[in-house]
Amino acid sequence: MNPLLVQMQELTKEPKIAYFSMEIGIANDIPTYSGGLGVLAGDTIKSAADLKLPMVAVTLISRKGYFTQEIDERGRQIELPTLWEPAKYMALASSKVYVQIEGRDVAIQAWLYIVKSLTGGSIPIFFLDTDIEGNSPEDREVTAHLYGGDLAYRLKQEIILGIGGVKMLHELGFEIKKYHMNEGHASLLTIELLLRYKRPIEDVWDERLVWDVSRVRDICVFTTHTPVEAGHDKFSYDLVVKILGEPIPLNVLKELGGKDNLNLTLLALNLSEFVNGVAKKHGEVSQSMFPGYEISAITNGVHTYTWTCDSLKRLYDKYLPGWANEPELFVRVGRVPDDELWAAHMEAKKILIDFVNAETNAGMDYETLTIGFARRATAYKRADLIFSDIERLERNAFGKIQFVYSGKAHPKDDQGKWLIERIHVIKERLKGKIKMAYIKNYDMDKALKLVSGVDVWLNTPLRPREASGTSGMKASHNGVMNFSVLDGWWIEGHIEGFTGWAIGPSPTEKTITDNAAMDKRDADDLYTKLENIIIPMYYNDRHTWVRMMQNAIGKNAYYFNSHRMMRRYVTEAYIR
Ligand SMILES: *Cc1c(COP(=O)(O)O)cnc(C)c1O
């Protein structure tokens, strides 16, 4: 028998939780992710494999990736397609399914990639692909560019993911007990489920009862990631009818997905029994955005083994054996001798600094306090906040700090692109005074180098825009302290002067609504702590510094890992 068929028989043996995500970042050379959401999905799946959870994941193949970022000498971003060969990593399943797009039958195939854990657990991921002979050239492009194209393109992708995904799992022989939508992108799957659970008209006394909403609700779980209204996918019903048609009557869809527009978040909210935000604060923010729904919070975590650099892995193996599959063992990080922790950190720092110098000729050194900032380049993340008062920075930090930056801007985010240019302008301006580098084409490998090799991880989002943030958790796993605005996960992980440092007001303080005033307040606090606490401690009190590194591990990594997160999804969302 065909080995893939044997494998499929094995994989479909027991009922599964189906995890749907528009993007999954599972490995650096599989470029089907853009950033935090996809990497979180990958970490979720890796922990599920380690914990031997019965899960299957569905995403899109994104044959041209998100994009490969080049940056010219003036800091202008250039976007190139990321070309990769799925067949190098995955096996093509023999099943095909069809979805209707603009009245055409569009064929979908699926690539199988299996995430295997050393514990013996394994999770299949199916990457959906419309690049099949027989599909029109336009339809073949639908799974090419992650977050590319216009609204119509996005809707088509979401049809492939949600509706095509459910059909594909069914076709492959999976029995699914829960559907977990990672963000609203996947929520069209509820439409396919409504169709599958439709009651015969002769069995019901009211026509509307043919749609068994409560049965679909019973098996759906929805995680929202977006703390602002504008971030939710919305489509006009004209577009919906043109592209999707009316698989369920429009009046029924409007009741579930919104009167004026199809709001995929609303659709997911109405059809999920369990809904959560990705940090406590984000749960509250989402709750106030959607009154009338019960929104819980399960704070994100990162995959401990993936996000620990080699030198710290060796150290943890020596003093905390078993740590990778039981991050709770970080509670005993105090067993690690200070000098060995510092030496392991310096090893990671050397790797980063050598890499930065090779990439950019920044001429950085190993001794200077190194601050890292890397994430999506977009306005609310305020990459340039630390340069609000350049004279002050020059005056008080001359020769005492160096900066490593990285991050892509979405091709349509002009402000994000402008920020990358601005960082480049500032870099020129500070030449000879403060060393700076911008590492192009941020990805998972570079993220690990950065979060483990810097001394301080900086994060300056405008509150409450950071739903959770996860790169700071990665830093903690490597004994790197966070210096961050109190938003997202840091509200829960921060103990001042112990696990790291806060920037700006406490979360309970009323938010200043004037953005410029907020920038000023945050920047002042940032400078004050940098000058009076962080720089002096780094150079003059290594003992306290290393104590704080231990606390970052023992308190932050101990909790903000995806094993803890998955155990909570199991007990609160999957088994109920
Ligand atoms: C972790 C990660 C992110 C998310 O970082 P945030 O700080 O949460 O925005 C984005 N991109 C890559 C490549 C990552 O590894």
Tell whether 280 and 393 lie within a shared domain.
no
Does the pLDDT value for residue 2 go beyond 80? no
Q: How far away, in angstroms, is 77 Cα from ligand 1 center?
A: 19
Does the pLDDT value for residue 298 go beyond 70? yes
94-99 own/partner pairs: CB under 8 Å, 24+ apart: 94/2, 94/4, 94/5, 95/168, 95/171, 95/172, 96/132, 96/171, 97/164, 97/167, 97/168, 97/171, 98/167, 99/159, 99/160, 99/163, 99/164, 99/167
Mind listing the pLDDT tens digit for each residue in 372-398? 999 999 999 999 999 999 999 999 999
Tell whether 233 and 318 lie within a shared domain.
no
Tell whether 273 and 210 lie within a shared domain.
yes
Please state, as a whole number, how many other Cβ atoms lie within 10 Å of the Cβ of residue 525.
Answer: 16
Please state, as a whole number, how many other Cβ atoms lie within 10 Å of the Cβ of residue 526.
Answer: 25
Q: How far away, in angstroms, is 39 Cα from ligand 1 center?
A: 7
The answer, yes or no, to whether any atom of ligand 1 lies below 6 A from the CB of 39, is yes
The answer, yes or no, to whether any atom of ligand 1 lies below 6 A from the CB of 69, is no
Please state, as a whole number, how many other Cβ atoms lie within 10 Å of the Cβ of residue 414.
Answer: 11
CA–CA distance, 349 with 371 (Å, rounded to integer): 11
CA–CA distance, 303 with 565 (Å, rounded to integer): 10
Q: What is the pLDDT of residue 508?
A: 82
Tell whether 197 and 324 lie within a shared domain.
no
For strands 456-459 and 481-485, give the pairing. parallel
For the chain, percent of residues with pLDDT exceeding 90: 93
Q: How far away, in angstroms, is 232 Cα from ligand 1 center?
A: 20
- Looking at every residue in the chain, the average pLDDT score rounds to 96
Does the pLDDT value for residue 229 go beyond 90? no
Tell whether 267 and 384 lie within a shared domain.
no
- The total number of residues shown for the chain amounts to 576
Position in ligand 1 atom list of the atom nearest CA 381:
9
Does the pLDDT value for residue 6 go beyond 90? no
For the chain, percent of residues with pLDDT exceeding 70: 100
Q: Find the distance separating the first CA and the last CA of the chain, reported in whole Å.
A: 38
SS3 content of the chain, % helix, strand, coil (to 5): 45, 20, 35
Position in ligand 1 atom list of the atom nearest CA 443:
13
Q: How far away, in angstroms, is 471 Cα from ligand 1 center?
A: 5
Position in ligand 1 atom list of the atom nearest CA 446:
13
Q: How far away, in angstroms, is 201 Cα from ligand 1 center?
A: 49
Q: What is the pLDDT of residue 170?
A: 98
Query: The CATH number of the domain where 237 resides is what?
Result: 3.40.50.2000
Number of folded domains in the chain?
Answer: 2
Does the pLDDT value for residue 308 go beyond 90? yes
The answer, yes or no, to whether any atom of ligand 1 lies below 6 A from the CB of 466, is no
Q: How far away, in angstroms, is 425 Cα from ligand 1 center?
A: 24
Q: Is 240 helix (H, G, I), strand (E, B) or coil?
A: helix
Q: What is the pLDDT of residue 102?
A: 98
Name the band, by pLDDT with cuts 50, 70 and 90, for residue 142.
very high
> Poorest-confidence range of 75-79, 401-405, 426-430, 514-518?
514-518
Does the pLDDT value for residue 563 go beyond 80? yes
Q: How far away, in angstroms, is 464 Cα from ligand 1 center?
A: 18
Tell whether 507 and 539 lie within a shared domain.
yes
The answer, yes or no, to whether any atom of ligand 1 lies below 6 A from the CB of 184, is no
The answer, yes or no, to whether any atom of ligand 1 lies below 6 A from the CB of 469, is yes
Residue nearest to atom 8 of ligand 1 (CA): 469
CA–CA distance, 349 with 455 (Å, rounded to integer): 8
Tell whether 239 and 337 lie within a shared domain.
no
Residue nearest to atom 12 of ligand 1 (CA): 35
CA–CA distance, 479 with 27 (Å, rounded to integer): 23
Q: Return the C-alpha torsion angle 122, 127, 128, 130, nearest 10.
A: -150
Does the pLDDT value for residue 354 go beyond 80? yes
Q: What is the mean pLDDT of residues 243-270?
A: 97
The answer, yes or no, to whether any atom of ligand 1 lies below 6 A from the CB of 442, is yes
Residue nearest to atom 15 of ligand 1 (CA): 444
Tell whether 182 and 317 lie within a shared domain.
no
> What's the domain range around 464?
310-560
Residue nearest to atom 3 of ligand 1 (CA): 36
Residue nearest to atom 9 of ligand 1 (CA): 375
Q: What is the mean pLDDT of residues 1-16?
A: 85
Q: How far away, in angstroms, is 11 Cα from ligand 1 center?
A: 31
DSSP 408: P
Q: How far away, in angstroms, is 461 Cα from ligand 1 center?
A: 13
Q: How far away, in angstroms, is 376 Cα from ligand 1 center?
A: 7
Residue nearest to atom 2 of ligand 1 (CA): 36
Which amino acid, 407? G
- Tell me the pTM: 0.97
Tell whether 274 and 389 lie within a shared domain.
no
What does the angle CA 372 – CA 83 – CA 475 come to, to the nearest 5 degrees? 20
Mind listing the pLDDT tens digit for each residue in 46-87? 999 999 999 999 999 999 999 999 999 999 999 999 999 999
Q: What is the mean pLDDT of residues 237-259?
A: 97
The answer, yes or no, to whether any atom of ligand 1 lies below 6 A from the CB of 281, is no
Q: What is the mean pLDDT of residues 213-229?
A: 94
The answer, yes or no, to whether any atom of ligand 1 lies below 6 A from the CB of 465, is no
Residue nearest to atom 1 of ligand 1 (CA): 471
Q: What is the mean pLDDT of residues 180-203?
A: 96
The answer, yes or no, to whether any atom of ligand 1 lies below 6 A from the CB of 444, is yes
Mind listing the pLDDT tens digit for each residue in 475-499? 999 999 999 999 999 999 999 999 9
Q: What is the pLDDT of residue 228?
A: 84
Q: How far away, in angstroms, is 562 Cα from ligand 1 center?
A: 14
Name the band, by pLDDT with cuts 50, 70 and 90, for residue 235.
very high
Q: Which of 184, 192, 267, 178 is nearest to 220 (CA)?
A: 178
The answer, yes or no, to whether any atom of ligand 1 lies below 6 A from the CB of 35, is yes
Position in ligand 1 atom list of the atom nearest CA 472:
7
Q: How far away, in angstroms, is 439 Cα from ligand 1 center?
A: 14
Q: Ligand 1 pocket test: pick from 408, 470, 477, 561 the residue with the most ligand atoms within 8 Å of its Cβ.
A: 470
Q: How far away, in angstroms, is 260 Cα from ligand 1 center?
A: 34
Tell whether 499 and 451 lie within a shared domain.
yes
Q: How far away, in angstroms, is 177 Cα from ligand 1 center?
A: 30
Tell whether 328 and 233 lie within a shared domain.
no
Does the pLDDT value for residue 1 go beyond 90? no
Q: Residues with Cβ < 8 Å from 288, sequence gap 6 or more? A: none
Phi and psi based region of residue 542 (left: phi greater than 0; alpha: psi -120 to 50; beta: remaining): alpha
Give strand pairing partners of 403: 371, 436
Tell whether 150 and 15 lie within a shared domain.
yes
Q: Which of 39, 62, 63 is nearest to 447 (CA)?
A: 39
Q: What is the pLDDT of residue 462?
A: 94
Q: What is the pLDDT of residue 3?
A: 76
